[in-house]
A and B are shown apart, each in its own frame.
Chain A
Amino acid sequence: MTTVQSPTPTPTPERPARPAARSGPRVVVRGSGAHRAAQAVVLVLLAAVVIWGGSLDPFGQGQLTRAAIFALAIMGLNFTTGYVGLLSVGHSAFLGLGAYTTGILVVNYNQTAISTIPWAMLVCFLVGLLVGIPALRIRGLYLAMVTLALGVAFPEVVARLDGLTGGAEGMTIRRTLLRPPDWSGFTLGEKDAWLYWLTIVLLVVTFVVVRNVISSRYGLAMHAVRQDEVAASASGINVAAIKLVSFGVSGAITGLAGSLFAMYIGSLFAEGSFTVLAGITLLIGLVLGGERTLAGPIIGGLAVVLIPYYTSGIGQGQASAVLFAVVLIAVIFLAPEGVAGGVARLARRWVVVVDKRPESIGRGR
């Protein structure tokens, strides 16, 4: 489910008075003690999982880092494909663009890895704006074709620009170049742990930013554009600006993931990591986790990293592809809002969170 509440929640009059007396879901008022307590429990549990991940062996921690990076990338995809409804198959290009921006700046221009993150995001933001331009005229399937073009073209262009990118042989970032900064307190030997914590922090920051944007006026405008462009435009929304900017922001978030991915993987092969199949994987993760949900990208990131790993022994390594297909079709038919949305819907049978009734209508949010 989305976090955008309808502006005027309509609880039945007697509901706040005696919630427990009726059979049916338990009603919790947002911001009440019980709600705060539940939120605190969830936060503590999440923090426990993160700290547990920090104490894992290097391989397990690496898998979690990878999952967090993909969660970030899917979060970026969710921003435009989920909330604005602009279908993108080619977000792998943003992942690659972010990764290569970091790679080139670190290897050719001697920048520290962490200082390249803003540049990666900026480059991806600008390219995102550019890709958003066709989205002003075309929609749906046709837009998917344009983004597919982007995704397919990216590895070929990288291979062609071999002076800058190392071409088809790929680009290797030496491990010493990925040294954690001195202020972090991590040594070169703890590079993987440093990357884990860096990724987690950036994931949390992005999560909060996305959550706030989605529940802002801008987020409402994004929803409106997705549901009906003509109606949105009639309500005074600048549809073109919404589409362009959200494509740019989406690219920037996925570019951030790409930058981290470059630090994680250390050697970049456009034909390996950034083909359009990676873009399809991101889309699979998004749909599976849940479009237009906040938790969906995280579930999706975990799924697209962990499922192939745990099934690699079955069916000549092809089991994950078949499994993804089955799960995707099941999700589309049984829980169109994805795993996150499906769980939320189930949970609403027992617990419903409602907004506090506004004291006076005049004071808007």
Chain B
Amino acid sequence: MDIFLTRLISGMTAGSVYAMIALALVVVFRSSATINFAQGEFALFTTYVSWWLTQHGWNIWLTLVPALGLGFVMCAVAERFLIRPVRKRDETAVLIVALALFTGLNGLAGWIWGSDDKVYPRLVPIGDDSFLALGGARLYYDSIFVVLSLVLVVGALSLVLNKTGLGLQMRAVATNPESASLCGIKVGRIFMISWGLAGVIGSLAAAILVPVLPPGQLGLPGMFHMLIFGTVAALLGGLDSVKGAVVGGLSLGVGLAMINGYGSFFGGSISLTVALVVIVVVLGLKPNGLFGSRRLERV
């Protein structure tokens, strides 16, 4: 039983992180109808900036301010000057630009800070006894912190989307950009803000996940797997649904923890494959995910 609880806790922790990345992807998809393949690398870059500031004596919490701000600016600028001009052409062009950003940001981070792994400090320092005993399992404080962060992010995002004028505009653009534009909404500005928000969420997720999830260090290849898990979570829940991202992320995290724990063949090294089989099955059976809205296509 305590092993089950331990696995459940680690699954919830990982799942919260996947859910946060999925949220970033969902916010972008709702505005631009594209998956931002470079989302993970934007986050990687800002996390390097945050790490670099801690090396200069900054408090780790304080470094989040410029890091998240940079995440907002970078994503918004990328949307305005790189994505939007090619959006009208076709999906391939958008994807190629995203892949270029993916390669370029990764290379740039390596160019500036070197390709060796960095030790990134924990936002919540934990000692040997900083856990709650829970029926034999240990619930470390940083797991609680990760789950709480997800709750906060979802709460804040829902508040923005549902209670503010900006959120109303964002929802209008998500439903139908042309009608929204006819109502006087500056659609381009909403695109930029959406991308920026996604950048903030992604950067926050990265800062939280780096010390918590294996390998526990900040390295160049690290965010790619996170992006894949986040994408699976978003696809599972439906690419345009906030609720879907959370449900998808948590169920993916817990599901993988259970499969890795109890499945003999599927264990350990093959978890990405399991996650991706989920993608293919979901896309085959329910292309819009669990909570996604159907999109009609006019020929």
Interface residues of A (CB under 8 A from B): 81, 85, 87, 134, 137-138, 140-142, 144-146, 148-150, 152-153, 156-157, 159-160, 168, 228, 230, 280, 283-284, 287, 315-322, 324-326, 328-329, 332-333, 336
Within the complex, which residue of A152, A280, A317 is in contact with B273, where a contact is CB–CB below 8 Å? A152
Contacts of A325 in B (CB 8 A): 100-101, 103-105, 107
Contacts of B8 in A (CB 8 A): none
Within the complex, which residue of B82, B93, B96, B104 is in contact with A283, where a contact is CB–CB below 8 Å? B96
Q: Is the interface of A mostly helix, strand, loop or mixed?
A: helix
- B110 contacts partner chain A, Cβ-Cβ < 8 Å: yes
Q: Is the pair B85, A333 in contact by a Cβ cutoff of 8 Å?
A: yes
Min CB distance B181 to A, Å, is 23
- B185 contacts partner chain A, Cβ-Cβ < 8 Å: no
A-B contact pairs, 21 of them (CB 8 A): A141-B35, A141-B95, A146-B280, A146-B283, A148-B276, A153-B277, A168-B269, A283-B99, A316-B115, A317-B110, A317-B115, A318-B107, A318-B108, A318-B110, A318-B115, A322-B111, A324-B103, A328-B96, A329-B97, A332-B93, A332-B96
Contacts of A319 in B (CB 8 A): 107, 111
Contacts of B104 in A (CB 8 A): 321-322, 324-326
Q: Is the pair B95, A144 in contact by a Cβ cutoff of 8 Å?
A: yes
Within 8 A of A (CB), among B236-280: 265, 269-270, 272-273, 276-277, 279-280
Interface residues of B (CB under 8 A from A): 34-35, 82, 85-86, 89, 91-93, 95-97, 99-108, 110-111, 114-115, 228, 231, 235, 265, 269-270, 272-273, 276-277, 279-280, 283-284, 287, 299
Contacts of B85 in A (CB 8 A): 333
Complex: A315 Cα to B107 Cα, angstroms: 9
Complex: A336 Cα to B265 Cα, angstroms: 45
Complex: A318 Cα to B113 Cα, angstroms: 11
Identify which of B91, B92, B115, B283 gathers the most chain A CB atoms within 10 Å of its CB. B92
Q: Is the pair B283, A329 in contact by a Cβ cutoff of 8 Å?
A: no
Contacts of A324 in B (CB 8 A): 100, 103-104, 107
Complex: A325 Cα to B270 Cα, angstroms: 30
Q: Is the pair A134, B283 in contact by a Cβ cutoff of 8 Å?
A: yes
Complex: A315 Cα to B34 Cα, angstroms: 32
**A-B residue pairs, 8 tightest by C-beta:** A325-B104, A321-B107, A149-B276, A318-B110, A328-B100, A315-B111, A153-B273, A140-B91
Given contacts A145-B231, A145-B235, A332-B100, are A137 and B95 in contact (CB under 8 A)? Answer: no
Contacts of B86 in A (CB 8 A): 332-333
Contacts of B93 in A (CB 8 A): 332, 336
Contacts of B100 in A (CB 8 A): 284, 324-326, 328-329, 332
Contacts of A140 in B (CB 8 A): 91-92
Complex: A157 Cα to B91 Cα, angstroms: 30
Complex: A159 Cα to B115 Cα, angstroms: 25
Contacts of B265 in A (CB 8 A): 160
Q: Is the pair B270, A320 in contact by a Cβ cutoff of 8 Å?
A: no
Q: Is the pair B299, A321 in contact by a Cβ cutoff of 8 Å?
A: no
Q: Is the pair B287, A137 in contact by a Cβ cutoff of 8 Å?
A: yes
Q: Is the pair A141, B108 in contact by a Cβ cutoff of 8 Å?
A: no
Complex: A153 Cα to B279 Cα, angstroms: 12
